[in-house]
Structure 1
C-alpha cells in the first residue's frame, strides 16, 4: 500500500434509497494518514457515503477504490464503527467478547480466537480505558462506555483505515477525550481515521482534513489550506 497517496478514491458515485437520490456525482480523494471529518447538515448523505465506500449499499453508478484496489482485496485493513443508535445493545454478551469480534477479520471460517487474539482484544480494551469492564454485559454500560467498547473492537482488528459514523455523538467528555487521543495516536502510527462529525466548534482541534458534504461534495482539503468558514457555508447556507 506504500506509494498510494489516496486511501479512498471515489469517482462519479451516485447513491439512492428506493430510487430517491441521496448522493450524486461524488468525486473524492482522501489522502493517507489524516484525521478526516465528514461534515454537513442533517440529511446531507454522510452516512450513505460511508456505506457506499464500504460496499454496504450498492451505488446507482460510480466506483470506489481503496489504496487503488477494490474493496474485496483490502477489506481486512478497514475497520468500521457504525452509529451507536443502530446497534442492538441488549444482545447478551460481554464487553470483552464484543472486542474479540474484531479479530475475526483475520481468522478463517473454522478458526477460533487464540491466546494472541485474546491478548490483543484485552490490549484494545485497555487503550479505551475499559479493562475493568471486560466482563460486564454490554447492556449494562453507559452510552460512552459502549462507544469505547465498539472502538476497541475496531482497534483489535489492527486495521490501516478506521471509518466511524458519529463516534462522538452523545458521549461524555471523558470518552470524547479518550477517543480523540486515540485518533491522534493512530495518525502517528501512519493510519487513517475518517469520521462523520457534527460539532463544528471542535473541527480544528480534532481533525486536520475535512470533507464538506450536502448531497454532493462542496469542498474538501486540509484545514490549514482551506477557508473553513467559506467551505462550510457551501453546505450549511440557509435555503432562500
Structure 2
C-alpha cells in the first residue's frame, strides 16, 4: 500500500513532538516535510516566541525537509491565510495530499483547518484528537520526551511557570483551571529531547519578558501558529542557543 504523502505543521512544542512520533510509526503516512510559522520581524516562532536558531537546531535533529511561513509582526487573518495558501499550494504541487496537526479537542479550530485545506484539496489529520490530555502528557514523559515552557498566559499562570521543565512536579503544580496540555492556549513549550531527535537540543534559559497582543479579526485560533487572540498578556521565557 502506498503511504499518504503528508506534511506536518510543526510548532516546536510537546504536542508536535508526540504527534510526529506517532506519525513516523504509522504505516499509513509518510511524513516528508515540516512547516512552521515564524514572525519574520523578530525571527521567532509565532506565538511561542522561540528564536529561529533553536527552531533550526531542532529541525536539523529531526532531519526532515522543512519550510517556514514568514509572517509580519501582527498579521491580519487575511494576510495569514494568503501566505499559508501560497505555501500549501506549493506543497500540493509537489504531491502532498495530507496535512497533520497536534490539536486535541478544539472543535472550532479543527473545523477552520479542515475548511481552509479542503479548498486546496488537502486532507487534515489529527492523530491526538479527543485523547485524554493527562494521559497524553504522561505518555510524553514516559517516552523520554523533554520540554520547557516558553510562553504562558499571564492571567492563568504565575510568571515562575515560564522556563519550567515539564515533569511530574509540573503536573502537580498546575492550577485546576489550566488544561494539562495547555490545549486552550494556557501555555506553549519547546521540546528539546526525545525519540524524534537524533540528539538533544542544547539551550540556556534567558530573560523573561511580558507582552500584550491585540485582537485579530477572527476567533479561529487561540493556541497555535495563527495570529493571537484577545488583548491578553503573556510571559515569554527567552531560550538561548
Q: TM-score over 0.5 for the alignment? A: no
TM-score normalised by L of structure 2: 0.30
TM-score normalised by L of structure 1: 0.30
**Quick check: which has more Rg, 1 or 2?**
1
